[in-house]
Structure 1
Amino acid sequence: MPADERVTRSSFSDWLQPILVPTAIGVLPDRIWSDKEWERIQLGYWSRDMDEKWAVVAEGEVVFLHRSWTGYGVFEATFAPVEGGGWRIASAVVETGRGGLHGNVADYDCLMLELVISTIVLGEPADELRLKLPELTRGASRERMLRRESCNTVSPASVQGRRSRPDRSAGSKDAGLPQSGSAERASCAGGQGSRPAPVTARPARLGLPGGAASSGG
């Protein structure tokens, strides 16, 4: 597809799938994109080969970033005009279900969002961003490992407490209400997916073009 031809959701037929568990990214890129860059971002992106693992579609002021080989939604970024010219990301969400790649680690998700837009859509080298990737990737992996360990650890008191409480959840499922213990399960599984695989900083794994500054991890 020519670079100046707009990519739409219909370009992918029914391949693109929405984010299942959207979680707000607490840290957003502070970059201001020029009006010309915003025009290019709005055209979207269709990966040309298996090394470019992202598909990007813009609808209005919202940019949707999907994994190209599964169609799964990963990021949704809402842009807003800046007084004096240019555009910036006003809000964004990341997929934290499906045992996702990212896992709701704000600094890492912020970096990846900006990296995909900069390198995949705009074709920039983004060397400064790439230099930050290995350290943030290791930090994200540690954070996700600690969460899994926390979710896998159940205190004896908690177990005894659940055993001693009478089961009053009969009919709760039919009424659409949470059943016993569901809040505890949701805190570990609902927002993070089941046992997400550790992320790595290798550009090929993340679907980023290779570069001298991108090695590591």
Structure 2
Amino acid sequence: MRTASNLAAILFVGVIFGLVGRTLRQRSAPTGPGPQDVVYTAEVAPGEEPLVADSTEIANDEVIHPPEDEAWLSRFELTERSGELVKSEDLLGEPYVVSFFFTTCPSVCPQQNQKLKELQERFRDEGVKFLAISVDPENDTPEVMREYAARFGADKDQWLFLTGDLTYIRRIGGEIFQQPIDKGFHTEKFVLVDAKGKIEGFYSWPEPRQFEKLQAAISEML
């Protein structure tokens, strides 16, 4: 009886230590975007597979070198839906608004791009550009984005749809535009950049007052 009691006690203590260790590991694990960051992902219907099942699906074995091997990106180059290469240097001289999206996003991205369409209509031919950068470049080829852009009547000179390598786009989002992004998710922010390439501010497009302030800031720059 004493042996059985001792064995039970040992097992009980082992379970307690296991639970404590598990709790500590969970608390120390990375949590992803901060509590103030709003991110959007593709909605998954019942029975369907999620866009990203695990981290191996977004792994990329190819080494991507930023322009001039910059340790911290200060400029970028991406492929536009036309197939032409667009460099950040090409954008200097005019303010521009940066957003992140993906074409298979079922609800948020269409609403977001509708807001960009409103901006395009208000500031048409006034010297401001709009950049929509894909966070699912594997699927968002230039051809796919041409069809998608046509849904919003996107002017090919004023509203650019950009794609490239996912690893490189992650760096552009985080290191240049201070936005946490990954495959299939992004923030709800519009990033306003002035004619010298400096970030003026971050505007949450679902907030009416912030959207109004964005338009006022663009007008002031122009």
Query: What TM-score, normalized by structure 2, do the two folds share?
Result: 0.22
The structure with more radius of gyration: 2
